[in-house]
Structure formats: C-alpha cells, structure tokens
Amino acid sequence: MCVYMYIYVDDLWVILHGKVYDLTYFLPEHPGGQKIILKYAGKDATSAFEPIHPIDIITRLLPAEVCMGSIDPAALKGATKEESEEDKLIRIAREKMPRLEEMYNSFDFESVAKRVMKPDAWAYYSSGADDEISMRENHNAFHRIWLRPRVMVDVKHVDMSTTMLGCPASFPLYITATALGKLGHPEGEKVLTRAAGKTGIIQMIPTLASCSFDEMVDARLDKQNQWLQLYVNEDRNITKHLVQHAEARGIKGLFITADAPQLGRREKDMRQKYANEAPDEITRSEMSMTRNEGAARAISTFIDPALNWSDIPWFQSITKMPILIKGVQCAEDAVLAAKYGCQGVVLSNHGGRQLDFAPSSIEILAEVMETLKREGLDKNFEVYIDGGIRRGSDIFKAIALGAKGVGIGRPALFAMSSYGDAGVERLISLFQVKYIVLQTNKHTNKYIHYLCIE
C-alpha cells in the first residue's frame, strides 16, 4: 500500500532577528526541508536559524514583501521557546567557565568547549574517522620529536615574523579551513577572521563556512591576508565562479582539498541528526541533503570524487593565485604537485577525519622535504602542515623540519566556541610563547631556528 502525505499550509509566519516573515510560499522551496520551518511556525526561529545561515541570506533569497515588519519585543516573550534540558546544562556550564586568563594552553580550551557546546556541534568538531587513530596520532607524533638545545647564544631579541606565499605574518601559524563555524559561535568564521587580523596571522577561508564568503572577506582588516580552501564541485561552473570571485576580492592563495573524495566515517558525528541549514555552497549546488547521518554527510554531497591531477591545468587557466594541494599524505604526491606546477602542498590527513591510519603530517615532513630536494623541486615550493598542533613547540618542530608554516583547526574552533574573539586571540598568543631552544642542523651544525621564553 502506498500512502501519500501532503502538507498544505496556507499561512506561515516566523520571527527572525526581531522581524516577522511570511514564509508560506517559500516553505516548499526551503533547501533544508519544510520540517524545520514548520517546527518554528508562529515562533521565534532566530536561535535555530542563526548558527547556520549567512547573515545576508534573507535579503538574497527572499523578496522584500515577505517581511511583514518588526515585532514588539514584549510580544516575543510568548513566542520564545522554553529552555530545554540541554540548553539549561549549557547555560550552567557557561556560568561556571574559568576566566580567560586561566586558559594556559589549547587543551584547556578544548575541555571548556566540550562542556559548553551543543552536543551535535561538539560531535561534529571533535570527531575523527573510524577508531580515531590518525586523529590521536596527529598530536602524539610530536611527542616523539626531541629537541637539540644549544646555549650561550644571544636570544634577547627574537623575531618570529615570516612570509607565507609572500604574505607577511607575525609568526608561522595560520588558521586553517574548518566547516560550519556557526555551530560553535553565532558569528561563525568572522570571529576567526577578526582574531587572525588582530594577531597578524593568515586565515584560510573554508568553502563550507556558515558565513558567506563575502562576510569573511568584509570582516578582515586593511592589510590582513586570507587564503581560500576549495572543495571542488561536480559543477565546475560553481567552482570557477568561487575561485574567480575570491581572486577579485584579494585572496592570496588557493588550496585545493584533495583528501576528501569520499567522506570518512566519523561515527560520533553520524549518530547526530543534522537539523541545521546548508552552507552557501550546498544551496548553490541545489543538492538534496541527507540529514540523518550527521553534519559531515549532510554537507559533503557536492564534492567531486573524480578530481585528479589532470584537472590542475584547468585551475591554472582560471586563476593567477598560487595553487597548493591540501591533503597530501606522502612524498610521491608532493613531487607530483611540484611537477604539475603547483606552488606548494599542505601535508594533512584532514585532522584524522578522513582516512584512518593515514600518517600524521609531522611524521612524513622530513621525508617529503628530502625527496623534494633530491628531485630538485624544493625551490619556490612551500610545504605546510596541519593536524595535531597543540603547542608553540609543535610549530617550532615543524619549522625546524622544513615546513614554511603550520595550520590549526580544532584549537581555534574550541577557543571560538567557548570564549569568542578574545578566546581565539588568547589561543594564538599562547601558541606564540617562545622557548629557549636552538635547533641545529645535524649536517652543518649551524643554528637553523631558535625561540626563547618570554
């Protein structure tokens, strides 16, 4: 027997940001489905809407006449939903948060974030693939690298500033691309943009941000530099438009993500239902979302699994930005990237979220550098790493082994989700703590890097 269900709605109003919208005609077209809108019919939907929609989406998608006017704040009281048990726990955890000055390292932010974040957001940010072996190994691998301290060297003034792809940075750290920033903070990735700007580091803008691309660019300071991380869309016109728009808006590097042709099994995330809205890229792709297997499944359907090396000339034909391959996991692929004329690679296993048992980037860094050198491909070719960087000394180890810079993902998300702008700024300053350590090159015995304690 076949049962058809029709939902017939002839009048549907919701409140968003203090304004009343008539969504009767928009309801069937909502890319995220009707259910979520129906849930908030006649109510204030701001708390559900805010974490996942770019701020300008209403004006972009809806005709002006659906806005019926502003609501009297007194009337809102009745329309606001009651505090759920989950919200209550989060509110209490937030009231008990330590002062920001008591945060001494990235792990402190992580443990606070775990208590104050919504469970689905925590599951998405913190999950890794399968048994999460690569995810844990990413940081553990740093524990096996020991330093070679040298003494009696003048380290009174230490300048850690650098350039990455020609962009000046206060030290060799950047905030890497991570998706769905509004799961953690109502202002999403703009928080990261502002903190990067204030501390003089580079932000890599994610394709799957909750904020729109332009919001993140508009939030940057005058001289601030940004890069773009790219998931390549099956519809290459969408990708072309994004890349060319990014270049026109002054983005300084294109990082093509190569480690996500298929979605890793992130079981913690898979147990969640994704009830939120789609990032812009999904809306543009007009693809349906699978919502009952977590956030990652919901947002990844558009990624082209056919992407391969022969696509590189096409990217080179549509942009003059430096092109780097993000997600390289062995020396052979770093060599191929150089041979295809890319300007660099990011050694990354996607924070251990894609292929479990992919090696950590710090583990393969030395071999990659040696191989590039042997093949004569190390000039004008920059190698970055991400994954497992949790302390300033991790950055130091990566630089000493040949990386041009390192990216942090989860630590920035956890700092943002718990303490907002100030949290991310403090996190970055903690990464900048300097150690008195001199690294010597084992062949020449020359000092190659040093940092000092402040």
Chain residues in the site for ligand PPY (CB under 6 A)? 179, 208, 260, 263, 296, 299-300, 303, 350, 353
* Closest distance of CB 350 from ligand PPY, Å: 6
Measured from the CB of residue 353, what is the shortest distance to ligand PPY in angstroms? 4
Nearer to ligand PPY, 179 or 323 (CB): 179
Query: What tokens does 274 get?
Result: 């994704």
Pair 410, 371: CB distance under 8 Å? no
Q: What angle do CA 323, 329, 333 make, to 5 degrees?
A: 55
Catalytic residue among 259, 269, 378, 421: 259
Closer CB to ligand PPY, 296 or 398, in the complex: 296
Shortest CB 228 distance to ligand PPY, Å: 14
> Residues 53, 139, 185, 350: which is the catalytic one?
350
> Which residue, 452, 450, 448, 416, is CA-closest to 433?
452
The answer to whether residues 86 and 119 touch, using CB atoms and an 8 Å cutoff, is yes
Q: Please, what is the angle between helix 361-374 and helix 133-143, to 10°?
A: 70
State the nearest-atom distance from the C-beta of 263 to ligand PPY, in Å. Answer: 4
Q: Give me the helix-helix angle, 189-199 and 410-431, nearest 10°.
A: 10
Burial 117-149 (b: 16+ CB within 10 A, else e): bbebbbbbbbbbbbebebbebbbebbeebeeee
Active-site entry in 124, 125, 231, 419: 231
CA distance 349 to 185: 25
Helix (H) or strand (E) holding 373: helix 361-374
Least distance to ligand PPY, CB of residue 124, Å: 7
Cβ at position 51, least distance to ligand PPY in Å: 15
Q: Give the 3-state secondary structure of residue 261.
A: coil
Q: Are 166 and 251 in contact (CB under 8 A)?
A: no
Cβ distance to ligand PPY smaller for residue 108 or 110: 110
SS3 call for 188: coil
- What phi-psi label fits residue 18: left (phi over 0), alpha (psi between -120 and 50 degrees) or beta? left
Residue (49 or 302) nearer to ligand PPY, CB = 302
For ligand PPY, the closer CB: 213 or 435: 213
Residue nearest to ligand PPY (CB): 300
**CA–CA separation, 107 vs 418, rounded Å?**
12
Q: Which of residues 205 and 299 has its CB atom nearest to ligand PPY in the complex?
A: 299
User: Is the Cβ of residue 386 or residue 394 nearer to ligand PPY in the bound state?
Assistant: 386
Would you call 8 a catalytic residue per the annotation? no
DSSP track, 28-75: GG-TT-SHHHHHTTTSB-HHHHTTTS-TTHHHHHS-GGGEEEEPPHHH
Which residue type is seen at 343?
A: Q
259 noted as active-site residue: yes
Annotation marks residue 350 as catalytic:
yes
Nearer CB in complex with ligand PPY: 22/234: 234
Measured CA to CA in angstroms, residue 6 lies from 3, 288, 291, 298 at distances of: 10, 19, 21, 25
The DSSP element (H or E) to which 432 belongs, if any, is none
Annotated catalytic residues are 231, 259, 350
